[in-house]
Amino acid sequence: MSIQANLKEVLTELPARIRLVAVSKFHPVQALEEAYAAGQRLFGESHVQEMTQKYEILPKDIEWHFIGHLQTNKVKYMAPYVAMIHAIDSYKLLVEVNKQAAKAHRVIPCLLQIHIAQEDTKFGFSFDECKDMLDAGEWRKLNNVSLAGVMGMASNVDDDKQIKREFCSLNTFFKEIKQNYFAESDAFKEISIGMSHDYPLAVESGSTLVRIGSKIFGERNY
């Protein structure tokens, strides 16, 4: 099937409350243009250089979501245009995003990446580490970032019950910190969970953003 047909199929499966981030990393500009022509406007990339090259070529009404592990020295290159950063996994990184956003005269929405998988290869705060950071309160002084929710990746396993348990643990944690730290914030509303292989489980678990690549674009061109 074509990219447009794949995109349509995925969108018919998503409730209206869920936004689709089309994960376009490693795919050529032509593939993004096809998805764009079908109406897709949110694209996810995990390498700053690649995302910036695509940003410079493609229409400017695209929302670029950075979904990969982010190094502090790369933030400055995307700060002028990135629509959302999904993977804030340390307070140090949040401070750098705030610094570069200020230079670009912007406020950048950010998601706190929480480690929910039973795998050491994944990045992110533990539940306790995240609460410790929020309790410290220094983040409240960062005027050029907007904490907009949480992001997580489930274990890469075939056990649907385990995946759903991990997703639901993040939903529960989101509700807890929403109540305790962000009760007055309309911006803190996103739960970014679900990828091509597990997004139906994420939909059931309260996702507001799904990050889907191969289901739309096919296998990546490494």
**Structure confidence at residue 144 (pLDDT):** 98
Are 122 and 89 spatial neighbours (Cβ–Cβ below 8 Å)? no
CB 111 within 8 A of CB 84: yes
Q: Which CATH superfamily is domain 3-217 in?
A: Alanine racemase (3.20.20.10)
- Token digits for 154? 């489930």
pLDDT at 118: 87
Beta-carbon count within 10 A of 167 CB = 25
Q: Residue 221: what pLDDT?
A: 54
Q: Which residue has tokens 């230079």? A: 103
pLDDT at 120: 75
What is residue 220's predicted lDDT score, i.e. its pLDDT? 66
Please identify which residue in the block is written with the tokens 């998601």: 111
Q: Quote the pLDDT of residue 1.
A: 81
Name which of 81, 121, 122 is nearest 101 in CA terms.
81
Taking only the tens place, the pLDDT of each residue in 170-197 is 999 999 999 999 999 999 999 999 999 9
Cα→Cα distances 216→46, 132, 161, 204, 213, Å: 17, 38, 25, 20, 5
Burial 174-198 (b: 16+ CB within 10 A, else e): beebbeebbeeeeebebbbbbbeeb
**H/E/C letters for each residue in 63-126?**
EEEECCCCCHHHHHHHCCCCCEEEEECCHHHHHHHHHHHHHCCCCEEEEEEECCCCCCCCCCEC
Question: What is the structure's pLDDT at 115?
Answer: 96
The phi, psi pair for 10, rounded to 5°, reads -65, -45
- Would you write out the chain's pLDDT as a tens digit for each of its 222 residues? 899 999 999 999 999 999 999 999 999 999 999 999 999 999 999 999 999 999 999 999 999 999 999 999 999 999 999 999 999 999 999 999 999 999 999 999 999 999 999 877 668 999 999 999 999 999 999 999 999 999 999 999 999 999 999 999 999 999 999 999 999 999 999 999 999 999 999 999 999 999 999 999 998 654
The two tokens of residue 64 are 């670029």
How many C-beta atoms lie closer than 10 Å to residue 210's C-beta? 27
Residue 184, classed as helix, strand or coil, is coil
